[in-house]
Amino acid sequence: MSQQMVFETGQFVVYPSHGLGRVTGVEIREIGGISLRLYVVDFAKDKMTLRVPVEKADRSGMRPISTPDEMGKAVSTLKGKARIKRTMWSRRAQEYEAKLNSGDPISIAEVLRDLHRPAGQPEQSYSERQLYEAALDRLAREFAAVEAIDQDQAARRLEEVLEAA
């Protein structure tokens, strides 16, 4: 049996479909006659609070933020060559969305790398731009927490890596 992950109050965590949040506490709520222990996770940027059952936090994909080494691998992914499949945009968009909602920084970096357009290339479509911005936002939030810098600075650094690739 695997050891259940324990998150502390004040700790940054990543919830796959929402990105970076901070555990603000653990509360006990009675739901349907059952007493449940819940992590309270605050996503300040989205002005949202999520309550995740302690017993289901692992299965939900909630995880601690990446280590500097893990984040380094994600940043290295940005330096790679874009892999654009020759499939219909709707299929690629679904794949990008799935990677974005996986919560995995390397998968999110792949979306960012594949949708990045250097100066002088044709403009992105609206939906490409939306996915690119969402990927940049998610990765920059976690990168900022790992590097202890603000999110705008993190986003600039990530875009500099993309431009230099």
* Residue where the block lists tokens 């390397």: 106
Domain count, the chain: 2
The CA-atom distances, in angstroms, between 78 and each of 39, 72, 91 are 33, 10, 22
Kindly state whether residues 151 and 89 are assigned to the same domain.
Answer: yes
- Same domain for 55 and 76? no
Structure tokens at 70: 């893990």
pTM assigned to the model: 0.89
Q: Is residue 4 part of a domain?
A: no
The residues pairing with 39 across neighbouring beta strands, listed in sequence order, are 26, 52
Assess whether pLDDT exceeds 60 at residue 2: no
Which of 64, 86, 105 delimits the end of a domain? 64
Do 142 and 125 belong together in one domain?
yes
Q: Would you state the pLDDT for residue 94?
A: 96
Q: Average pLDDT for residues 71-95, to the nearest whole number? A: 92
Q: At which of 21, 40, 64 does a domain end?
A: 64
Boundary residue ending a domain (20, 36, 64): 64
Please report where in the chains the tokens 């984040």 appear, as a residue.
71
- The answer to whether 156 touches 164, Cβ cutoff 8 Å, is no
Beta bridge partners of 41: 23, 50
Cα gap 102→100, rounded to integer Å: 6
What number of CA atoms fall less than 13 Å from residue 152's CA on the CB side? 0
- One domain for residues 41 and 89: no
pLDDT 10s digits, 116-137: 987 777 788 999 999 999 999 9
Q: What is the DSSP letter of 23?
A: E
pLDDT for residue 124? 84
Paired residues of 158 in beta bridges: none
- Residue 133 resides in a domain: yes
- So what's the pLDDT on residue 1? 39
- The number of angstroms, rounded, from the C-alpha of 81 to the middle of its chain's C-alpha atoms is 21
Gap between the Cα atoms of 100 and 103, Å rounded: 6
Phi (first) and psi of residue 148, to 5 degrees: 55, 50
Mark whether 51 and 97 lie in a shared domain: no
Per-residue pLDDT tens digits for 45-56: 889 999 999 999
Q: What is the CATH number of the domain that holds 58?
A: 2.40.10.170
Domain residues for the domain of 86 are 68-164
Residue 106, amino acid: I
Q: Are residues 76 and 93 in the same domain?
A: yes
Query: Is pLDDT of 109 > 80?
Result: yes
| CATH number of the structural domain spanning residue 94 | 1.20.58.1290
- For residues 75 and 99, state if they share a domain: yes
Token pair, residue 138, equals 């998610």
Nearest to 141 by CA among 29, 3, 43: 43
Do the domain assignments include residue 95?
Answer: yes
- Are 16 and 97 in a shared domain? no
